[in-house]
Amino acid sequence: MWQFDESYSIWGARFLDDRLWMLVETGGSFAFEWMPTRPIGPESGFPYEVYGDRQIVATGTQSGTNTVYDVSAFFTDADDSTISRLVKGDDFAGNQGEVEVGGAANGWVYSGTNITVDESEFLDGEVILCKNYESSLTLTRPFRTDQRGQRIVGDKLLHEEITVSFANSGLSLVRITPGSNFQSLERAFFGDRVQDIVTGTIRVPVRQESDSVRVGIAAGSVYPMTVNGVEHDVSAEVGMRGRQ
């Protein structure tokens, strides 16, 4: 059994075709749920591969000023207020790929097998409902090597700058976390609009000793993130600079 918190546990799981079926316990009762094993993307009518937990592809029906999404084909209990992201598909011409932040605090209602959204504009197209999560990685600190290719132990390097190259990525973050004497720095990478999926680079100043700083890259949204290159600009002493 995998227990994520007091209200949600997975008792068993099995792969069938391209789905992972799970026997879960939530709210004191058992239910079957399934999730896709591959990201939902362009082949399903969305402009990019969507990365989110418990992804639900649905088209809403109108109820007054609200839009109601029936999620019974995915799981038997929609009482999960952590499902708080809505991604618009290709049906929303000019706005496809936009992400709406919902949740109970923003008027979403979770009841039985329905999720009700207080936004009638969502009615006319297919969307993905999902949970948000953050994926991240921490880079190895730059170092110099001797003539035998061995790392020089105790070598002092000044980490001047880092350049990160992204490919087909959405909103991503480069984080610089230095020692207590300096503030952390975070720079975002994205296109002209936050929901754009683009290829490019971002340069972030570091200007700290390499052994006292951590450099991380994170994606805290449903957008894809592919890092295809990292370049460190370092100097060993005044007048000596190098790249790694």
pLDDT digits (tens, 9 = 90+) for 186-241: 899 988 877 788 999 999 998 888 888 889 999 888 999 999 999 999 887 544 45
> Considering the chain, what is the average pLDDT of its residues?
82
Task: Evaluate if residue 115 carries a pLDDT over 90.
Answer: no
Task: Evaluate if residue 154 carries a pLDDT over 60.
Answer: yes
What is the mean pLDDT of the segment spanning 2-12?
71
Q: Residue 5 has what pLDDT?
A: 60
What is the mean pLDDT of the segment spanning 164-190?
86
Task: Evaluate if residue 111 carries a pLDDT over 70.
Answer: yes
Question: Tokens for 242?
Answer: 């190098």
What is the mean pLDDT of the segment spanning 102-110?
83
What is the mean pLDDT of the segment spanning 152-179?
88
Task: Evaluate if residue 113 carries a pLDDT over 70.
Answer: yes
Residue 228 in contact with residue 164, Cβ under 8 Å?
no
Instruction: Choose the most confident range, by mean pLDDT, from 5-19, 72-86, 88-102.
Output: 88-102
Distance CA 85, CA 178 (A): 32
Instruction: Please list the residues that pair with 117 across neighbouring strands.
Output: 67
Q: Residue 237 has what pLDDT?
A: 58
Residue 104 DSSP SS3: helix
Residue 37 in contact with residue 106, Cβ under 8 Å?
no
Concatenating the DSSP letter of every residue in 115-173 gives EEES-GGGTTSEEEEEE---EEEEPPPP--B-TTS-B-TT---EEEEEEEEEEEE-SEE
| Confidence band for 128, pLDDT divided at 50, 70 and 90 | very high
pLDDT in tens, 23-82: 888 777 888 877 777 778 888 889 899 988 878 888 888 887 788 888 877 665 555 677
Q: Residue 239 has what pLDDT?
A: 45
Strands across the sheet containing 66-70: 61-63, 66-70, 114-117, 109-111
